[in-house]
Structure 1
Amino acid sequence: MASQRLALLDAVCAAPKAELHVHIEGTLEPELAFALARRNGVTLRWRSSAELRAAYAFDSLQSFLDLYYAGCDVLRTEQDFFDLAWAYFQRAASDRVVRAEVFFDPQSHTARGVGFDVFMPGLLRAVARAQQQLGLSAAYILCLLRHLSEDDGIATLQAAQPWAQHFIGLGLDSSERGNPPEKFARLYAQARAQGLRLVAHAGEEGPAAYVRDALDLLGAERIDHGVHAADDPALVRRLAGQGIALTVCPLSNVKLCVFPDMAAHNLPALLHAGVKVMVNSDDPAYFGGYVNANYQALLAAHPELDSADAYRLLRNSLEASFAPAGRIAAWVGKLDAHWRAQGLDAG
């Protein structure tokens, strides 16, 4: 039995998959942070990368965000953003990610005087290299900070217009408490009119009602996190019936105390209720692992998840992406071939 479980874990790690919930700023490893700080003459308050990593003991989303925004200060030049994104794409490719839809937080940079003309060329250069050298399909989603005003978000969306062809969607992140979805209804209406795909963080620290409001008031097509949707059985039935995807991040949820431990995580229950859930890494440099580490932690803590469940998680990730239908079908075909080659049940 143990050997079969290990074989399943190996098969999942080697399977083609998509990552739909990852913040590029959250992939800033301590070692790179110190390298960029030295390059840019920035003094960090930690003495070493090991000391910085030891500071990643969070008791809430806000305690993480405070450190996250401080870390962004080392990102100053186009090359910094290229180095950051290229490091992530290499790790993603090693985890067999074939499609990455990556959040970036412009307000975290423009507030420091680092503009779109600095970070966008670096981020785009990394995408081009990932596609050429790694065969990895990647796209960016502009994510706005919900603790700031809607007017600030609208101004940021307007400032992004010269680069609009280079990102595929609009997202909403940062602290949910005190910042409900309805605060951003005008912003999302403008993004919808521009033809952007719409996603939103909801139901991580916020209630199930935030998930519903993100769907109904913002028009979100995917919900990032969404785990508190489980508190409302009618909402769970709606998510399952309408095929609305939840981009769940298991290690993040445990690290930020959404669940006390991985065994308590409700992703298996949501999956078995028919919800289109999948596995992602969120801010992997801070939360203990990239996407395969999240799959491994989840499957290790939940022996009730079998090969058919693992297949469904992987397929959900591909099908919920905003990639062209033909690309999705090709990736699903590769997943099916991989699963058959391993002799595993796809359900």
Structure 2
Amino acid sequence: MTDLSAFIRGLPKAELHLHIEGSLEPELMFELSRRNKVAIPFGSVEEVRAAYAFSNLQDFLDIYYQGAAVLLTERDFHDMAMDYFRRVAADGTRHVELFFDPQTHTDRGVPFAVVADGLLAGMAEAGREFGITSSLILCFLRHLDEDAAFATLKAAEPWLDRIAGVGLDSSEVGHPPSKFARVFAAAGERGLKRVAHAGEEGPPEYVWEALDLLKVDRIDHGNRALEDPALVQRLAAEGMTLTVCPLSNLKLCGVSDLRLHPLKKMLDLGLRPTVNSDDPAYFGGYVGENYTRIADALALTKSDLVTLARNSFTGSFLPPAEVAKHLAAIDAYASAS
């Protein structure tokens, strides 16, 4: 382990862009396939990993939804969550705001309660075992219609006191944020925070829509915002957090080389990016690996890494007093390192 990777591992950090279904490792996928007697179109762990060669977001989504078919019981969702938390505990992660896609499961006949209660049980256990705090963000699948999103929000009502916010994910191109303006307004009326994937593959206009029509509190990805100087100026002025996912961008061919990734430019422009893993089982690394790989590719300094870690807490939905404790821990760690 290099000095920098050791520094990253010990650096207190939060993860704000993590699809829990995207943490389903092939080994657990096969275990759940056997446990639940669900056939999957792969013969071995190696065959699954070989299939993880994507040329765009849709290539990934096709295999992502196939993998999710093995998730049927509360125990499955609990086990998937704990599998993820074990890994990020070793990365110095102190807080996670995790996305989940209930429509992926309810459309297969798995009740919302099974998904939510299984994940919440795993999150509670991770808190006890690793001291990691966490919260849920319910994502609407943007390739489905607004009525389906409203139905999902309705199904979630008994759990809204345990859900921090709503998000928007899945196929971005052709599904602008404006398609979901009314359901996001309804979520806001219920006191939920709002985030949305925008500017990953979609144009800067999608980022404007997320800000103006969805009234988001964070932008997930946001890379293509850099194509619009007026948008960059606005994001900087508003202190809008961007949940950037370097290895995801590389794996989905958003960048051809991590040395071309815009993260350092975002920092230089006065934006507030964070580093996250997105779908780590599919994209080649959890949050610590994302920090290490992008730091190496862009020659980030320890000061840059501290800024990114601080951004991860100031951009979180934790109460101000909790944010302050984490920022103090980062500063103490940086001073001692």
Normalising TM by the smaller chain, what interval? Answer: over 0.9
Residue among 319, 322, 334 paired with 1:324: 319
1:259-338 matches, cutoff 5 A: 259-303=255-299, 305-338=300-333
Residue 165 (structure 1) aligned with residue 185 (structure 2): no
How far 1:45 sits from its partner (Å)? 1.0
Match of 1:64 in 2: 60
**Unmatched tracts of structure 2, length 5 or more:** none
Residue among 159, 172, 176 paired with 2:172: 176
More off after superposition, 202-211 vs 306-315 = 306-315
Q: Give the secondary structure class of the aligned counterpart of 1:44.
A: coil
Number of matched pairs: 337
Q: Which amino acid aligns with 2:230?
A: A
User: Quick one: distance in 1 between partners of 2:115 and 2:243?
Assistant: 25
Q: Give the secondary structure class of the aligned counterpart of 1:74.
A: coil
How large is the Cα RMSD of the aligned pairs?
A: 0.9
Match of 1:253 in 2: 249
- Say whether the 8 Å CA contact 2:258–2:297 is kept in structure 1: yes
Residue among 121, 130, 134 paired with 1:134: 130
Match of 1:232 in 2: 228
Instruction: Encode CA deviations 1:157-200: one digit per residue, 9 max, x unaligned.
Output: 01110111111000000011110011001010100000000000
1:178-217 matches, cutoff 5 A: 178-217=174-213
Q: Which amino acid aligns with 1:250?
A: P
Q: Which amino acid aligns with 2:182?
A: R
Q: Give the secondary structure class of the aligned counterpart of 2:224.
A: helix
User: Quick one: distance in 2 between partners of 1:147 and 1:274?
Assistant: 33
How far 1:264 sits from its partner (Å)? 0.8
Q: Give the secondary structure class of the aligned counterpart of 1:143.
A: strand
How far 1:17 sits from its partner (Å)? 0.2
Q: Which amino acid aligns with 1:154?
A: F
Identity of paired residues, percent? 53
How far 1:261 sits from its partner (Å)? 1.2
User: Quick one: distance in 2 between partners of 1:19 and 1:196?
Assistant: 19
The TM-score, its normalising length taken from structure 1, stands at 0.96
Residue among 3, 7, 29 paired with 2:3: 7
How far 1:69 sits from its partner (Å)? 0.4
Match of 2:96 in 1: 100
Q: Which runs of 4+ in 1 moved over 6 A?
A: none
Residue among 12, 16, 20 paired with 1:24: 20
Q: Give the secondary structure class of the aligned counterpart of 2:329.
A: helix
How far 1:8 sits from its partner (Å)? 2.7
How far 1:9 sits from its partner (Å)? 2.8
Instruction: Encode CA deviations 1:126-154: one digit per residue, 9 max, x unaligned.
Output: 11111111110100000010000011101
**Unmatched tracts of structure 1, length 5 or more:** 343-347
User: Quick one: distance in 1 between partners of 2:309 and 2:302?
Assistant: 11
